[in-house]
Structure 1
């Protein structure tokens, strides 16, 4: 009885092995009969073409019917610049991949990029866009800083200025450098109110004199102080 049981197991294992071989051979034949001749990638200006090719080659050798679309998507989603991936097979021999890249708003602590969704990602530095605003602050504060960054830029629209540098210091004070070169010290409270006050008085005090300003101190309860370049501090 035991001998018959062992014999049955051997027959079953042999059958499974034969089925595996038949499946592998059939897949090989299908890949030879319906090979992929074209892989087109759209919307990926920051992806390394050589690296992308090396990543995709092992995934498309199975031919038109053997391609695992979800596997391609999962592999490409691991790349830092990639936000979303759409993969399509087009009969008889094409694969079309559409890449939606992340949209960086600013650099973060000179180590990462901050996306418009508040998420950090770290691609190669030589792929960073030029002239990105810089945000500097404590770890975990990037979403709060992004919200202030957007609110401040809205307030600055009437001056045709934008934030080039925004820092939340270890003392919880806010410092800003504008695109026109003016530095603002905003302190640690009523940040947007103080910036709004700056926007209101700007045309009266600083218009056409941006190059003469070293910084503007807005930490006073009822006013501000301008430090002019070349003028000694009192």
Structure 2
């Protein structure tokens, strides 16, 4: 009889534990369900542009060729999407389509701020009078731009822009080393012959096969040529054993 009572008591304890467990689980599920609904409702609310509007736009960058109007024409139509749904990548890509912009960084700042950092292209040389080389040797073409006389002019076949740029970099480095005047123009003609211009002096370097040799010869003899020929205007280095000047 005693064993039966113990067994019955054990069953009652197990039943109570069972119901406590499942009651606790049910309450926990209800709590999580309420949290999920609250989160869902918040995100639905946050997606509405009027809920978290962008109130401040900060543009940082030293801009010379890119106007405020150009930037506003890209950014302002997108701002009404609101803070959480603002497509920052879209803004970045659209700004990079402006011809003078080289680098764009766009970030949201809680609770209502958009920051835009801009870096403009820095032109180092003109290409065929229409396009420009930036500091990385990349071509870009601003609309209705006229090359400044302060920029070196690079000329060559359309598919030779990279070759001409590399030649210009090589010449610039060598001329700086030897304290030579800065070149004003570098040209590769249809016959693959090279010609460069210094202030008041035109230099014929000859074909690509002799480019490096003639370039080194030029920096070696140029100071003496200028000293001996104060009115020097032309140096022809296409001869294997010497040069002609006039």
TM range (shorter): 0.7 to 0.9
1:203 aligns with 2:223: yes
1:186 aligns with 2:205: yes
> For residues 130 and 72 of structure 1, what CA distance do their matches in structure 2 show?
35
Equivalences, count:
202
Q: Equivalent residue for 1:103?
A: 122
Q: Which moved more, 1:85-94 or 1:119-128?
A: 119-128
1:172 aligns with 2:186: no
> For residues 115 and 46 of structure 2, what CA distance do their matches in structure 1 show?
27
Q: Deviations over 1:64-104 (max 9, x none)?
A: 22311111111111112222211112223221111233333
RMSD of equivalent CA atoms = 2.4
Q: Equivalent residue for 1:75?
A: 94
TM-score, structure 2 as length reference: 0.73
Aligned pair in 2 of structure 1 residues 148, 160: CA closer, same or farther (>3 Å)? same
- Kindly state the Cα deviation for residue 49 of structure 1 after the two structures are TM-superposed: 1.5
Q: Which has the higher helix share?
A: 2
Contact 1:182 1:215 in 2 (8 A): yes
- Structure 1 unaligned residues grouped into runs of 5+: 1-22, 228-234
> For residues 199 and 26 of structure 1, what CA distance do their matches in structure 2 show?
66
Larger Rg: 2
> For residues 116 and 38 of structure 1, what CA distance do their matches in structure 2 show?
29
Aligned pair in 2 of structure 1 residues 220, 26: CA closer, same or farther (>3 Å)? closer
1:122 aligns with 2:141: yes
- Kindly state the Cα deviation for residue 209 of structure 1 after the two structures are TM-superposed: 4.9
TM-score, structure 1 as length reference: 0.77
Q: Equivalent residue for 1:151?
A: 170
Q: Deviations over 1:38-66 (max 9, x none)?
A: 33242433212212111110111223223
